[in-house]
Amino acid sequence: MTAPAMTSPEEKARDADHEFIWLQNAEDGKHNSDGRLWCEDKIWPDKPEDGEPTKYIRADLVDAAIQAAVDEAYEDAIKIAKEEAERRTRVRGQLLDSRLEATAQETGREAAENIRAAIVERAASRRSRTKPPATEKTG
């Protein structure tokens, strides 16, 4: 059984915060004596002609989203690199196979020529050994 994770006071305070807050549009803020206002909920625009407020997202949530995107991109890059390495290995293997086949064919031709030459040479050698010595006929 695992112990429950301990949460620091900073984490508790952060988790109690809203995920995002809204800052009143600059144009609308000019009409307020306190300037632009912040709000935990999107209460603006009040009227259709009012501008949209600016949405601010908690930094830890942005950081987590960025890290998740980086992790996903890293995993995708690893997968692509592995697939490319496998493809290159396959292509190199096919190239090697074709080179070996060509070498085998060339070697086979050379071997056949060498064997034929050896047979001809051997036959010539046998003929010269079995030939009776030439005799001179006198007349």
Q: Mean pLDDT, consecutive 10-residue segments, the chain of 139 residues?
A: 70 80 89 89 84 92 95 95 92 84 83 83 76 60
Task: Using only the alpha carbons of the chain, give its radius of gyration.
Answer: 45
Q: Whats the size of the chain, residue-wise?
A: 139
User: Which pTM does this prediction carry?
Assistant: 0.50
